[in-house]
Amino acid sequence: MYAIGDLSHRTGVKVPTIRFYEDRGLLPPPERTAGNQRRYDEAALQRLQFIRHSRDLGLPLADIEALLTLEGAKGQDLNQAHEIAERQLEDIRGRITRLKRLEQELARITQACDGQHDHVCAVLHAFGDHDACDGSH
Amino acid sequence: MYAIGDLSHRTGVKVPTIRFYEDRGLLPPPERTAGNQRRYDEAALQRLQFIRHSRDLGLPLADIEALLTLEGAKGQDLNQAHEIAERQLEDIRGRITRLKRLEQELARITQACDGQHDHVCAVLHAFGDHDACDGSH
DNA sequence: ATAATTCCTCTAGCAACTAGAGGTTCAAGA
DNA sequence: TCTTGAACCTCTAGTTGCTAGAGGAATTAT
C-alpha cells in the first residue's frame, strides 16, 4: 500500500493534484488508515499513471474520464477511445499550424526592430497594427 | 464616440471581455453618458486593437500591460519591448517542438489501433503505458 | 519519548475569460 | 411623444487544471 506521497513520487503527479483528481472523480476514494490517511493499491497507481500520461498528451480531464470508463470495453465502445485519440491528434495538428503562423509573424516583428530604435520601435507598432500581418488570425 | 457594442464589433473583442480588461487596468475607464453607459474614443479603440492583436500573438495580459506602459518610450525602454517579443518567440518555438513530439506519439497510437479491436484496444494500452513512448516528456 | 516529516481538510488564488440574473437606458418607429 | 426592443449596467459565479497556504493531526525515525 502506498501513502499519497509515495504515489506522488512514483507517478510524478503532485500530492494536491492527486487529491484534486479524487475530488473530480477520476480516482476512486482509496482506503484510509485508522488515522484517516489515504492508502493506495497497485490499481490506483496504474490508473494515476494512465491519467498522467494522457494529460502529458494534452487530453482534457473530461476525455480522460471518458477513456477510463471505457476500460475493458469491447467492440463498438473501443471506437470511442479511438475517436478521442484522433480528435486529439487533429487538435494538436491545428495548434501546430496556428503556432507556426504566429512564429512567422513574431520573427518578422523582432527582426524589423533589431538594429536601431530611433524614435518609435517597430515592435510596438507591429503589435498594434493587425493590417501589417502576413497571414490572418 | 463608440458604445461598448460598437467597440466590440470593430475589434472583435466581446463586450464582457472589454469590461474585464477595464477591471484589470488594461483599458482606462472611459467617459460615461448621463445614464452611466460607457462611451469610447479613438484612442481607446486603438488601445483595444493593440491588446487584441497581442493576445492573438499569445502574449499574456501581464506582458501586454508592460508593452502598453512602454508606449512612447525611448532608448533603453524600447529594448524591453523587444525582449518581450523575443521571449514570446522563444516560447512559441518551444511549444511547437513539444507539440510535434506529441503529434508523433498520438499518430503512432491511433495507427496501432486502426484495424482490429480484438479484446483490448491499443489506444487504451498506449495511453497508460508511458514506457512505450518514443520521446520523453 | 520526542522531533521531523508527512498527512489531513478547507479556503482562496492563478489565467482569461464566459454566462446568467435582475434591472436600466438608449434609439428608432408609430 | 410614446413605446418597444435592443443594448446596456453591476454583480456573482462558473470554467479548466491545478497550486499555495493555514492550522492541525498522524506517522516515522531516532
Q: What is the DSSP-derived secondary structure letter of residue A39? A: E
The pLDDT assigned to A78 comes to 72
**CB-CB: which of A57, A103, A128 is closest to B92?**
A103
Closest by CA position to B136, among listed B92, B97, B80, B87 = B97
pLDDT of residue A134 exceeding 60, the answer is no
* Grid cell 466590440 in the structure block, residue: B8
Please tell me the distance from the alpha carbon of residue A26 to that of residue A48, in angstroms, as a whole number.
Answer: 9
Tell me, in Å, how far CA of B113 is from C1' of D13?
Answer: 42
For residue A96, give the H/E element and its range: helix A76-112
User: Distance between the two ends of chain B, CA-based, in angstroms?
Assistant: 52
Whole-angstrom distance, CA of residue B85 vs CA of residue B62: 13
Question: In a 3-state reduction of DSSP, which class is residue B77?
Answer: helix
Residues A127, B53: C-beta atoms closer than 8 Å: yes
pTM above 0.85, yes or no: no
Cβ-based neighbour number of residue B22 at 10 Å: 16
Confidence of residue A97 (pLDDT cuts 50, 70, 90): confident
Query: pLDDT tens across A20-68, in order?
Result: 999 999 999 999 999 999 999 999 999 999 999 888 878 889 988 888 8
Model pLDDT, residue A113:
65
Q: Determine which helix (DSSP H) or strand (DSSP E) holds A31, and give its type and residue range.
A: strand A31-32
CA-wise closest residue to A127 among B129, B30, B23, B46: B46
Q: For B70, which of A109, A124, A137 is closest by C-beta distance?
A: A124
In this predicted structure, the answer to whether residue B130 has a pLDDT above a threshold of 70 is no
The residue type of A52 is R
Q: pLDDT value at position B31?
A: 97
- Which residue in chain A has the smallest CA separation from B69? A124
Coil, strand or helix: which one is A34?
A: coil
Please give the share of chain A, as a percent, with pLDDT higher than 90. 38
Segment holding B100, helix H or strand E: helix B76-112
Show residues, CB within 7 A, near nucleic chain C.
A 3-6, 8, 15-16, 19, 36-38; B 3, 14, 16-17, 20, 33-37, 55, 60-62
- Nearest 5 degrees, angle CA B1-CA B7-CA B8? 160
Q: Give the C-alpha separation, B6 to A44, whole Å.
A: 54
Q: How far is CA A6 from CA A11, A134, B31, B58, B100, in A?
A: 9, 51, 58, 37, 32
Residue B113: the pLDDT is 65
A62 touches strand D (CB under 7 A): yes
Angle between helices A42-56 and A15-23 in degrees, nearest 10: 100
Q: Tell me, what's the pLDDT at A16?
A: 95
Confidence of residue A17 (pLDDT cuts 50, 70, 90): very high
The pLDDT-based confidence of A18 (bands split at 50, 70, 90) is very high
- Say how far residue A87 (Cα) sits from the centre of its chain: 14
Option in A74, A81, A120 nearest B123 (CB): A81
Please give the average per-residue pLDDT across B18-31, as a whole number: 95
Q: Which three cell numbers stand for residue A114?
A: 533589431
Q: Which residues of A touch B137 (CB under 8 A)?
A: 56
What is the predicted pLDDT for the residue at A94?
85
* Nucleotide in closest CA–C1' contact with B63: C15
Put simply, the answer to whether A127 touches B103 (Cβ < 8 Å) is no
Name the closest residue (CA) to the C1' of nucleotide C17: B17
